[in-house]
Every structure is written in C-alpha cells, then in structure tokens.
Amino acid sequence: MSRHRIALTMASGIASALLLAACGSSTDDSASTGTGAATQAETSAPADAAASSAAGGTHMVSTGMLMAKQMSGMGSVVTDAKGWTLYRYDKDKASMSMCTGSCAQTWMPVMADGTPKAMGLKAKVGTITRDDGMKQVTLAGWPLYRYMGDTKAGEMNGEGKGGAWYAITPAGAKSAMSSSGSSASGSGSGSGATATMSGMPGM
C-alpha cells in the first residue's frame, strides 16, 4: 500500500507539473500574439498618416524648360516642355504664392527641375521659395501653375477661372483672351517682378 501511495503521489506531481507548463506556454503565446498585433498596428499607423497627408497635400509638377507657343485665337502663351499651358494668379504677391492648401490641389505649382531654362520668352525666368521649402518657377515675378482641368497638352480650360487665373504670355502678362484691363495688371507687376527676380539665378 505504501508503494502504491507513493506512485500515486508521484503521478499527481508529474501531472501538475505538466499542467503548469502548458499554462505557461499558453500565456507566452498570448503575450507574443499581443506584441505582434501591437507591432503591426504601429507599423501601419505611419503609412495611414502619410496617405492622409498626401491626400490633403499640394499637387506639384516640375519642369526644366518654359516655351512660347502660338495658340489659335489666343496669341502666344507659355507652356512647359511637354506643351501644357501655364497660368498666373492675380492674387499672388511679390516673392509669394497665395495658392496653398486646396487651391494648390487644383492649380498645381510648377516646381523647378534644376535651373529653369527658357525658349522664346521675353520676360525673365526665376524661382521663389514656397512655405513648404519647394522652389516654384516664376516668369516676370509671377509664380507659375498648371490647371488640373487641362486633360492634355495645349488645352486652356483654366483661362479666366474665378476672374483671377490666366494663361501667361512670354512677356509675363495675361493672355490675349483676358479683359482689356489685364495688360495693365500684367505690367503693374513690374515692381513685384523686380523684387522677385533679385538674387535669382542668372541675375
């Protein structure tokens, strides 16, 4: 009987040890799973934040060349190297773009791809530094933009939008289609253009 009791006691002890080991393993697995889930959540969070930031950020295009192009019934306007019409914004100020936030999603700032070059232009090409630190191309001091509503090169769907957006001419003025008072506004940017051009490449 004594030996039988000893055997039972040993068997009970082994069973208890095995049960404790199993519980410990389950706890470790649970902890490991929890850590993995947390790591996955932390990894995906920055990606979601970046996507959100990009969705609400500025849409930009870049060019290293500005060109004069003759448009039917419009006279000569400025395009980038691929023929996309470029615009100026009447509310911009010397050395400062006033088109930011949602505006810059529709009217895409033209960024400098290296030192901007010009072909057939009468006004000087330069750059300004936007609030985000990016270099935006200017012509006669006017920051340049492309319109999201232009779906192919050569279109001018942004002409006259809001009474403030106009295709820009090689002299930095508003396009021929704009109102008769536009040329005065174009030439009136002279002081701003001088301020913007100072210190620019080639000056």
Report whether pLDDT(11) > 80: no
Alpha-carbon distance of 101 to 132, in angstroms, equals 11
**Nearest-10 Cα torsion for 182, 139, 151, 82:** 140
Alpha-carbon distance of 129 to 97, in angstroms, equals 9
Q: What is the pLDDT of residue 17?
A: 53
First vs last C-alpha separation in the chain: 110
| Domain membership flag for residue 171 | yes
Alpha-carbon distance of 87 to 11, in angstroms, equals 89
Q: How many domains does the chain have?
A: 1
Cβ–Cβ under 8 Å, residues 187 and 169: no
Alpha-carbon distance of 160 to 13, in angstroms, equals 90
| Domain membership flag for residue 129 | yes
Q: Tell me the CB-side half-sphere exposure of residue 126, using CA atoms within 13 A.
A: 24
| Domain membership flag for residue 164 | yes
Alpha-carbon distance of 144 to 108, in angstroms, equals 9
| Domain membership flag for residue 114 | yes
**And the tokens for 42?**
């932390």
**And the tokens for 23?**
């519980």
| Domain membership flag for residue 95 | yes
The residue with greater pLDDT, 186 or 170, is: 170
| Domain membership flag for residue 69 | yes
Containing structural domain, residue 66: 61-197
| Domain membership flag for residue 21 | no
pLDDT bucket at 51, cuts 50 / 70 / 90 = very low
- Tell me the per-residue pLDDT of 109-157, one tens digit each, with 9 for 90 and over: 999 988 889 999 999 999 999 988 899 999 999 999 999 999 999 999 9
Alpha-carbon distance of 143 to 61, in angstroms, equals 13
Mean pLDDT of the chain: 72
Q: What is the pLDDT of residue 198?
A: 33
Q: Is the pTM of this model over 0.75?
A: no
| Domain membership flag for residue 25 | no
Report whether pLDDT(46) > 50: no
Report whether pLDDT(185) > 90: no
